Amino acid sequence: MGNEAVRRRDVCEARGYIRRGITTPAKVNQLIDDMTKRRGVVAAERLRADMREEWLKRGKWMVGRHS
């Protein structure tokens, strides 16, 4: 998979967790703990960073959503 496709996949994953309500510190920490066990520290922390970035941009991509 090319870098652009990998990046798109990572962004979609981060947005998916945000859409599912993984938005409180406790829920995010639990997710990151689970991801660390499954994928390792680097991947889990990359997911955390992607979620933070997408949280700041959510007004653009969550337009029209009522959840």
Specify the number of domains making up the chain: 1
DSSP letter assigned to residue 62: S
pTM, full prediction: 0.85
So what's the pLDDT on residue 64?
61
Residue 66 located in a structural domain: no
Tens place of pLDDT per residue across the chain (67 aa): 789 999 999 999 999 999 999 999 999 999 999 999 999 999 999 999 999 999 999 888 887 655 4
- Is residue 13 within 8 Å of residue 50, measured between CB atoms? yes
Residue 65 located in a structural domain: no
Q: How many helices (H) and strands (E) does the chain have?
A: 3, 0
Residue 64 located in a structural domain: no
Q: State which residues form the domain around 49.
A: 3-58
Structure tokens that stand for 48 in this block: 């955390």
